[in-house]
Amino acid sequence: MDSNKKYWKGLEELNNTPEFVEKNKHEFAEPIPIEDVLSGDGLLGKTPRRDFLKAVGFGVGAVTLAACQKVPVHKSIPYLIKPEEITPGVANYYSSTYEGHAILVKTREGRPIKIEGNPNDVLAKGGLSAQAQASVLDLYDVNRVKAPVQGTSELEWSDLDDYVKLELAKLKDSGKKIRIVSSSIHSPSTLAVIADFITEFPAAKHVSYDAVSYTGIIQANQNSFGKAVLPHYNFDKADVIVSFGADFLGSWISPVEFTAQYVKNRNNKSLQSKKMSRHIQFETGMSLAGTNADVRIPLKPSEEGIALINLYNAITGATLPGSKKLSDNATNNAITIAAKELQAAKGKALVVAGSNDVATQVLVNAINAALGSYGTTIDLDNNSNQYNGNDADLVEFIGEAKRGEVGAVLFLNANPVYDYYNTKELTDALSKVPLKVSFADHIDETAAICNVVAPNHHYLESWGDDNAIAGYYTILQPTINPVYNTRQAEESLLIWSNNPVKVYYTYVRNNWDKGILAQGGLSGQKGWETLLQTGFISAAAKNGGSYAFSRDLNAVAQTILTQSTQLAASGDKKLELHLYQTVAMRDGKRANNPWLQELPDPVSKVTWDNFAALSLTDLKKLNLQEGDVITVDVNGSSIALPVLLQPGQAEGTLSVAVGYGRTKGGAVIESGVGKNAFPLHSFRNGTLQTTGVAAISATGDSIVLAQTQTHHSYEGRSVIREASFTEYKKNPYKNSGKDGAHKDYKSLWEDYSDTEYKTTAYNWVMAIDLNACTGCGACVVACNAENNVPVVGRDEVRRRREMHWIRIDRYYSFNEKGESITEEHEIDKLTNLNNVSVVHQPMLCQHCDHAPCETVCPVLATVHSSEGLNHMAYNRCVGTRYCANNCPYKVRRFNWFNYWNDSRFDNYLSNEHTQLVLNPDVTTRFRGVMEKCSMCVQRIQAGKLKAKIEKRPVKDGDIKVACQQTCPANAIVFGNGNDPDSEVSKALRSERTYYVLEELNVQPGIGYQVKVRNTTELEA
């Protein structure tokens, strides 16, 4: 090719203009503004397009690189040396004791997170109360005392010991008295420690008293039979139970144990053998036992004694003085019927009374002796140690202190400044005591006025033992290292009394080696290890002897009559007062526990407050509305309380719960929950009595009580189905509709369930026996603990936003002229609400096979599993709430706020410390998502996994859901519906089984069993 061809780029090059030549000299056509940049002028100059692109390029690149940095990492520290028994993700269970009940403590990675009843527990067979379930939260309570305190400053234990020892030594010389004031102690080792302390300091004495006292019964037994003990009651051996104000299912002595016993004669098994106990309750306010009674008669405190005299006379044919007709004819009839039935059931009858009056209890003893109850339904030989306090002892101590005789007082698990009726007298007396030591784990009302607080361990951090009833010894073992700088009270006492054994663990072991272990046939190290695994030993019970009553009752009757006259409230705006304990709060010791505060009262469904319960008649008479605040004045002590209309409340009376109105001891308490009703007690006849005459006056204020249920009648709907025992015996299908009274509902849709899990191994279903459920609410707290359910507080409950996954619906119906009245508009016409029947219905997600929630969710956040469960995928939920609207059972709960990260809800979820109680197997939920009962899907998965590892199918009973596990009444049965031999399948085959709202054909997975009342047709 020709090589003289010239290639040029652009005309400039071709023409070779001078500018081109000039420009071509440099590497870059345009000069680089290095000088400008260096001098700083470049920054002011106009940014050319290229610079802009460069800047953008760099900027984007830099930002991208910067974004590559790791997000902040929360480091979790692995075990350096992994403890042999801990596998992260696998729970360990330790046996321990809660208030005399053998329990199992579930721990995860060293943290106790859940209390379960020990299935072998002699008392309750695995059932636990709401309080026991909630007690694990107290372990992590940030309001606990974190170190020993003297005055207002924290100090070292050694300094504290030096101080206390010095003070005690001084006292030894001065000869002043030392008093250990405690609530009832039933731990043999603790009692031994105290005994040793008293040996060291002979001036010391142990004063035992209880906030809610049983001195009346103990003294009465002393008077009647020479045994100053609380007997062990056997409700399971009683065919006829008559209770005078004893709430033995809710709060009286040992309610969980009694529930288990009581239900034995009323559950499905008992009904199928055509046997059902009869329960007649005479009481002032509506108690949990009252709600379960077959016949419940409202009775004024002033008439209780007369009613007992009438009953005694009717049973024995004696003529005690004071017998007279009561104002209400229904009560007289009921007493006649009760007497007849008790007599017919001689040897299988039981009469109990809640009164703390010695005379009343002596009369009850006489009735029971006449009925041959001793040795059968009442066991005085294998007595209960659960309560052994003596009111007079405390009064005596206050007298000593007032006279300046007491040099030191040690408060062990006692808070008399709060729960003694005369606070002023007590504090005045205590101000004369130079050394006041409290072992409280919170700065409670008593600890606040003590010089020294030597904080005790939580029971889950403690060694110890317990002996609730004679022959039944349980062991406490720590499940976690002490969370705070606390020390077990017993250890403090050992150190202060210069005991050769300074470590309480050793002390307990020695004490058991000395004899208790042998009672269980165990010995040595091996025996001890066995004990730690089984949790208890049960010595052979002595034969309960029968006791004859031989005292003259005339004086007793006279005392009762005098009291009745005193109690009879006469005059305008005076009502007879009755004090009681609620299931949630009991005596108020656990008032700082938000789970318990938010647990609705089984009867009133009120949370976060106490109130004055009045009858409709009195409300009208006093011209009050529900929520109006009244002052209740008893002997000069007065408190202001909102009024609640309580059906079944005896006319002319009001009931107030104790356990509220604490003022010191934690954030929950100090937020102001209720009013303290302990000052309304009166000291009569040597005991603290729960009755009195109250003067009422309206303050003009009004508040809204935070109730989880505000409509109380079931409107005649088939949601609740009841039958009388007579009807049931004639036709076991009565009212269940299972015999064809309700037809099978045809579905429009292809039944996908037939092709799905009906053929798979598992179909998880549940059966709930309305006849077993007493409504105690333990399941609600168990569910809270298991599923990390948020606590929302009083205001949110008022807005009807409580988050409980399981609730207990409580309905009132009224019996007038042999007809059951359930509809609101008919109830409104009633002039009194005395003849009330109550039914409790646990309500939780029904896991419908045709779940209405599932079809409406736009994003498939709630779907059906192949095992019959209705799942919630929290991550997918956008929170339209359509599912909750479409749920006929209204069991879905929406996260209205960010309960775990919102400073307005700092009850437990949002606190870094209390978060340790959370179950790591269950996610906490963000705001804006729906949640509901999952049938403890984490437990199902764990059970399936375990079975898989062991290469076997899941056995019936392997998996227990939290509510079922804690239920003292065994009202809830969960299991595999595809296994015809499973307990749940058997329960669902019961003639009484019905499904709530089955007519909607949503095919719920939970079957309920008809409530049966042992009423004659006339009473029904």
Cβ–Cβ < 8 Å for 862, 873:
yes
Nearer to other proteins, 489 or 857 (CB): 857
Among 304-312, 537-545, 557-565, 992-1000, which window interacts with other proteins (CB under 8 A)?
992-1000
Among 63-71, 88-96, 212-220, 878-886, which window interacts with other proteins (CB under 8 A)?
878-886
CB of 833 to other proteins, least distance (A): 17
Contacting residue, 103, 719, 773, 1010, with other proteins by CB under 8 A: 719
Cβ–Cβ < 8 Å for 678, 211:
yes
Q: Which helix (H) or strand (E) holds 844?
A: none
Kindly state whether residue 943 participates in binding other proteins, applying the rule CB under 8 A: no
CB of 996 to other proteins, least distance (A): 8
Spatial CB neighbours of 377, under 8 Å, sequence gap ≥ 6: 233, 234, 235, 237, 238, 348, 349, 350, 368
Cβ–Cβ < 8 Å for 832, 617:
yes
Distances (CA, A) of 135 to 103, 598, 781, 784: 12, 14, 10, 12
Cβ–Cβ < 8 Å for 189, 464:
yes
CB of 1016 to other proteins, least distance (A): 28
Q: Is 925 exposed, middle or buried (0-12, 13-18, 19+ CB in 10 A)?
A: buried
Kindly state whether residue 878 participates in binding other proteins, applying the rule CB under 8 A: yes
Exposure string for 740-751, b = 16+ CB within 10 A, e = fewer = eeeeeeeeeeee
Contacting residue, 55, 60, 761, 859, with other proteins by CB under 8 A: 859
CB of 889 to other proteins, least distance (A): 6
Spatial CB neighbours of 822, under 8 Å, sequence gap ≥ 6: 713, 714, 715, 716, 811, 813, 814
Say how many C-beta atoms besides its own lie within 10 A of residue 817's C-beta. 6
Kindly state whether residue 558 participates in binding other proteins, applying the rule CB under 8 A: no
Contacting residue, 403, 514, 542, 876, with other proteins by CB under 8 A: 876
Per-residue tokens: 18: 């001078």
CB of 858 to other proteins, least distance (A): 4
CA atoms of 667 and 672, how far apart (whole Å): 9
Nearer to other proteins, 154 or 826 (CB): 826
Going by C-alpha positions, the residue among 351, 433, 365, 442 that lies closest to residue 180 is: 433
CA atoms of 273 and 675, how far apart (whole Å): 47
Kindly state whether residue 882 participates in binding other proteins, applying the rule CB under 8 A: yes
Contacting residue, 344, 540, 860, 945, with other proteins by CB under 8 A: 860
Kindly state whether residue 947 participates in binding other proteins, applying the rule CB under 8 A: no
Contacting residue, 880, 911, 915, 923, with other proteins by CB under 8 A: 880
Nearer to other proteins, 28 or 749 (CB): 749
Nearer to other proteins, 281 or 846 (CB): 846
CB of 644 to other proteins, least distance (A): 17
Reduced to 3 states (helix: H, G, I; strand: E, B; else coil), residue 277 is coil
Say how many C-beta atoms besides its own lie within 10 A of residue 15's C-beta. 10
Among 372-380, 559-567, 672-680, 875-883, which window interacts with other proteins (CB under 8 A)?
875-883
Exposure string for 395-415, b = 16+ CB within 10 A, e = fewer = bebbebbbeebbbbbbbbbbb
Among 508-516, 623-631, 715-723, 724-732, which window interacts with other proteins (CB under 8 A)?
715-723
Among 121-129, 130-138, 226-234, 708-716, which window interacts with other proteins (CB under 8 A)?
708-716
Per-residue tokens: 623: 């011209």
CA atoms of 861 and 931, how far apart (whole Å): 11
Contacting residue, 855, 866, 950, 952, with other proteins by CB under 8 A: 855
By CB under 8 A, what part of segment 511-530 binds other proteins? none
- HSE-CB for 801 with a 13 A CA cutoff: 16
Nearer to other proteins, 841 or 965 (CB): 841
Among 260-268, 445-453, 752-760, 893-901, which window interacts with other proteins (CB under 8 A)?
893-901
Among 65-73, 145-153, 706-714, 942-950, which window interacts with other proteins (CB under 8 A)?
706-714
Contacting residue, 590, 892, 939, 960, with other proteins by CB under 8 A: 892
Kindly state whether residue 457 participates in binding other proteins, applying the rule CB under 8 A: no
Per-residue tokens: 40: 């700083």
Q: Is 150 exposed, middle or buried (0-12, 13-18, 19+ CB in 10 A)?
A: middle
Nearer to other proteins, 683 or 874 (CB): 874
Kindly state whether residue 264 participates in binding other proteins, applying the rule CB under 8 A: no
Contacting residue, 337, 856, 942, 947, with other proteins by CB under 8 A: 856
Reduced to 3 states (helix: H, G, I; strand: E, B; else coil), residue 574 is strand
Q: Is 92 exposed, middle or buried (0-12, 13-18, 19+ CB in 10 A)?
A: middle
Phi and psi at 813, nearest 5°, equal -135, 160
CA atoms of 679 and 663, how far apart (whole Å): 14
Kindly state whether residue 888 participates in binding other proteins, applying the rule CB under 8 A: yes
CB of 604 to other proteins, least distance (A): 13
CB of 607 to other proteins, least distance (A): 14
CA atoms of 536 and 520, how far apart (whole Å): 9
Nearer to other proteins, 144 or 605 (CB): 605
> Which x/- pattern, by CB under 8 A, does the window 800-829 give for other proteins?
xxx----x-xxx-------------x----
Nearer to other proteins, 395 or 933 (CB): 933
Going by C-alpha positions, the residue among 380, 381, 369, 376 that lies closest to residue 348 is: 376
Count of residues that bind other proteins according to CB under 8 A: 57
Nearer to other proteins, 738 or 893 (CB): 893
Cα 907–420–597 angle (5° rounding)? 20
Kindly state whether residue 849 participates in binding other proteins, applying the rule CB under 8 A: no
Kindly state whether residue 885 participates in binding other proteins, applying the rule CB under 8 A: yes
CA atoms of 546 and 370, how far apart (whole Å): 11
Beta-bridge mates of residue 687: 684
Nearer to other proteins, 535 or 1005 (CB): 1005
Kindly state whether residue 715 participates in binding other proteins, applying the rule CB under 8 A: yes
Contacting residue, 72, 226, 858, 980, with other proteins by CB under 8 A: 858
By CB under 8 A, what part of segment 912-931 binds other proteins? 926-930
By CB under 8 A, what part of segment 286-345 binds other proteins? none
CA atoms of 490 and 482, how far apart (whole Å): 15
What's the sign of the alpha-carbon dihedral 173, 174, 177, 180?
A: negative
Nearer to other proteins, 78 or 858 (CB): 858
Contacting residue, 898, 911, 915, 938, with other proteins by CB under 8 A: 898
Kindly state whether residue 998 participates in binding other proteins, applying the rule CB under 8 A: no
CB of 715 to other proteins, least distance (A): 5
Nearer to other proteins, 594 or 790 (CB): 790
Task: Tell me the three-class secondary structure of 399-435, residue by residue.
Answer: HHHHCCCEEEEEEECCCHHHHCCCHHHHHHHHCCCCE
By CB under 8 A, what part of segment 777-796 binds other proteins? 796
Per-residue tokens: 392: 């007079």
Kindly state whether residue 756 participates in binding other proteins, applying the rule CB under 8 A: no
| Helices 301-316 + 358-370 axis angle, to 10 | 30
Phi and psi at 169, nearest 5°, equal -65, -40
Nearer to other proteins, 156 or 902 (CB): 902
| Residue numbers at the binding site for other proteins (CB under 8 A) | 709-711, 713-715, 717, 719, 796, 799-802, 807, 809-811, 825, 841, 843, 852, 855-860, 876-882, 884-886, 888-890, 892-898, 902, 926-930, 996-997, 1000, 1002
